[in-house]
Amino acid sequence: MVVLAACAVWSLITAAAHDGRPEGVLLAILAVAAGYAAGRITGALLPVAAPGVGALAGLGLALAAPHTTPGPQMTSPLGHTGATAALLALSAGAACCAAWAAGPSVLRVALRLLAAGIAVSAAVLGSTTGFALCAGVLLCSLAADRMHRRALGLTGLALTAVLVAGASWAVAENALPDGLTVSLEGPLTEHRVLLWQDALRLARQEPALGAGPGRFGELSPTVAQSVTPDGKPHSAPLQQAAEQGLVGVVLLAAVFGWVLYALWRTPRPTPVVLTAGAALTALAAIATVGDALSFTTVTAGAGLLAGFATARPLVDETTEGDPRTDGRPRGNRLES
């Protein structure tokens, strides 16, 4: 709560300094906090049913979401396409978490089939990114049972998020070799790269406080030249750098770091922890190269999944025949 409060206060400070509009940031923070609280409560009462219902709700929202956007028609993972991919990845993560909480049973198989069905739904919707991320979350969940130290897995997820953020920053800086830059600009689109370069330019002009929340669209030449602009750079770290300065970037990274730390400390079984971590890392990757965090359903869903994975169920979670637990309740044991 301290980290989220710091994010809210800093957005208000930067808005006051440059006459910005912090409402969008505050709404996202509220959605994360509300989702996390709801996930902790329902996850404690219904450790299997709550994430299972959450997975179905996320799938329903993704299927009902419009597939056109008022902004520029850019390819995945921008705009509503990115939000759909993010919802599907979070839904797959919730289904897999519910499967691990269900224990060895027919219900576990059914929940894993639900996760596989979510991946298939992504393919049917034409979301290649969503399909790849859902499949990745499902595979990570299946492999998580063989991971004896959750700290190692969470460290790998953190490094993955850092590498994606670093790559996007390098593309914006044009710091990569020419051949690699050209190959990346194809799927990223030239328009998006120009938006990233505008964001870096604003960050250099105001490194401390940024240009102010919600002001990127007013100051970006690329946005001004767009036929149907949406006023966003389509990268959460670069948007933070442009609108809230380096402190904003640090706070955004602190939120993700706090989530991973909370997952490391939770007494939930390691497979649940690593499954949720994989889904949230998939969201971080989409947000780094897209606009997923601008959608309240996505931010609330992220908080909800983090809450499910860190909740303390009122009933013990056991894993029969697991040599690492000797039949003892894993819900009261910290595996680090």
pLDDT single digits (tens) 11-68:
999 999 988 999 999 999 999 999 999 999 999 999 999 999 999 999 999 988 765 3
| 321 found inside a domain | no
pLDDT of the residue at 1:
87
pLDDT of the residue at 126:
84
CA separation for the pair 67, 58 (Å, rounded): 16
Mention every residue, 6+ apart, whose C-beta is less than 8 A from residue 334.
265, 266, 267
Query: Model pTM?
Result: 0.89
Structure tokens belonging to residue 157: 């997820």
pLDDT of the residue at 153:
95
| 89 found inside a domain | yes
- Round to the nearest angstrom and report the end-to-end CA distance of the chain: 24
CA separation for the pair 49, 41 (Å, rounded): 12
Query: What distance lies between CA 245 and its chain's CA centroid?
Result: 21
User: Is the Cβ–Cβ distance between 39 and 272 less than 8 Å?
Assistant: no
| 248 found inside a domain | yes
Count CA within 13 A, CB hemisphere, residue 48: 16
> CA nearest 86: which of 270, 243, 310, 303?
303
| 330 found inside a domain | no
- In degrees, to the nearest 5, what angle opens at C-alpha 221 toward C-alphas 220 and 223? 65
pLDDT of the residue at 227:
63
| 144 found inside a domain | yes
| 278 found inside a domain | yes
| 101 found inside a domain | yes
Total domain count, the chain: 1
| 86 found inside a domain | yes
CA separation for the pair 232, 290 (Å, rounded): 10
User: Is the Cβ–Cβ distance between 22 and 11 less than 8 Å?
Assistant: yes
With helix as H, strand as E and coil as C, how does the chain read? CHHHHHHHHHHHHHHHHHCCCCHHHHHHHHHHHHHHHHHHHHHHHCCCHHHHHHHHHHHHHHHHCCCCCCCCCCCCCCHHHHHHHHHHHHHHHHHHHHHHHHCCCHHHHHHHHHHHHHHHHHHHCCCHHHHHHHHHHHHHHHHHCCCCCHHHHHHHHHHHHHHHHHHHHHHHHCCCCHHHHHHHHHHHCHHHHHHHHHHHHHHHHCCCCCCCCCCHHHHCHHHHHCCCCCCCCCCHHHHHHHHHHHHHHHHHHHHHHHHHHHHHHCCCCHHHHHHHHHHHHHHHHHHHHCCHHHCHHHHHHHHHHHHHHHCCCCCCCCCCCCCCCCCCCCCCCCCC
- Per-residue pLDDT 10s for the chain (336 aa) are 899 999 999 999 999 998 899 999 999 999 999 999 999 999 999 999 999 999 999 999 998 876 533 344 444 454 457 889 999 999 999 999 999 999 778 999 999 999 999 999 999 988 888 999 999 999 999 999 888 889 999 999 999 999 999 999 999 888 877 777 777 777 788 888 899 999 999 999 999 999 999 999 889 888 888 766 677 899 999 999 999 999 999 999 999 999 999 999 999 999 999 999 999 999 999 999 988 999 999 999 999 999 999 999 887 664 433 333 333 334 443 343
Structural domain for 228, as ranges: 2-310
pLDDT of the residue at 182:
75
